[in-house]
Amino acid sequence: MAEQTPAPAPTELWVERTGTRLYTGRSARGAEVRIGSESVDGVFTPGELLKIALAACSGMSSDFPLSRRLGDDYDATIRVSGAADRENEVYPQLDEVLELDLSELDAEAQERLIALVERSVDKVCTVGRTLKAGTKVTLSITRE
């Protein structure tokens, strides 16, 4: 029986407060992102990060089938939008649009590739699958 490689440990993630309603998100791998209110230039809001995570996950989930058919240097842009319902503080709908140049493929090949991309995203985009399924979120507070 083949020995399974253990899964890598999850990356430690945290945010640090850097000002009034201003935070820096960090990862143990050295990544940083500035997070704050919509009125502050140069930051993402938490909701914008949620939307970007969804779009990036869809892009990464579709990368293999697209690069296999279109080549490693294909261009793609995924636009994501969705207005917040401020009364309930939720995003009731998020809409993604994947922009691709498929002009080198005939209509039938385009339809097959689009169906493959949709299946790939539905199957392996963890962020999209989590949002569709809902998830349990917990918060604990540590006192120093």
Contact (Cβ atoms closer than 8 angstroms) between residue 32 and residue 18:
no
Question: Which of the four pLDDT bands, split at 50, 70 and 90, describes residue 133?
Answer: very high
Question: Which of the four pLDDT bands, split at 50, 70 and 90, describes residue 8?
Answer: confident
* pLDDT at residue number 9: 84
CA distance 96 to 137: 24
CA distance 139 to 57: 25
Q: What pLDDT digit, counting tens, does each position of 14-61 carry?
A: 999 999 999 999 999 999 999 999 999 999 999 999 999 999 999 999
- pTM for the structure as a whole: 0.90
